[in-house]
Amino acid sequence: MKISDETTDDDPDSTDPFHPFPEPVRIPITDVFDLHTIQPRDVKLVVEEYLNEARAAGFRSVRIIHGKGRGVQREMVRKILERTPWVLAWADAPPEAGGLGATLVRLTLD
C-alpha cells in the first residue's frame, strides 16, 4: 500500500497519517489543570506553559492536579514552581480539593 504525499485541504479523509494534528491543540485556561491526560514526557513543558498562560490570564492562584501515585509528577511540578520567579508560594491542596494529589499555587501578576 502506497501512501500519497499529496493531501488536499478540501478532502477530510486526506489527513497525513504520520502527522494527523498539524496544529497545536488549544486547551482553555482555567484555574485548575489536571495532568492525568498529559503524557509524562510532556509534563514539564506543559506545566511551564500552563503557568505562563494562567498568569497572563490574570489568575492569582491555580490548582495543579498531578495525582498521588509515587509522587514523581508531584516532585516535577514542585521543581518547576521552585524555579519560577513569579510563583509566590505553593502547598498541598486540602483533602476536599485533592490533598496530596494536587498542589495549590499562588502567582504574582507583576
User: Domain with 89 in it: what CATH number?
Assistant: 3.30.1370.110
Domain limits for position 43: 32-107
Looking at the structure of the chain, the number of domains it has is 1
Query: Average of pLDDT values for 36-42?
Result: 90
Single pTM value for the model: 0.76
Residue 14: is its pLDDT beyond 70? no
Confidence of residue 27 (pLDDT cuts 50, 70, 90): confident
Nearest one of 51, 72, 48, 69 to 60, comparing CA atoms = 51
Task: State pLDDT tens for residues 41-83.
Answer: 999 999 999 999 999 999 999 999 999 989 899 999 999 999 9
Confidence of residue 1 (pLDDT cuts 50, 70, 90): very low
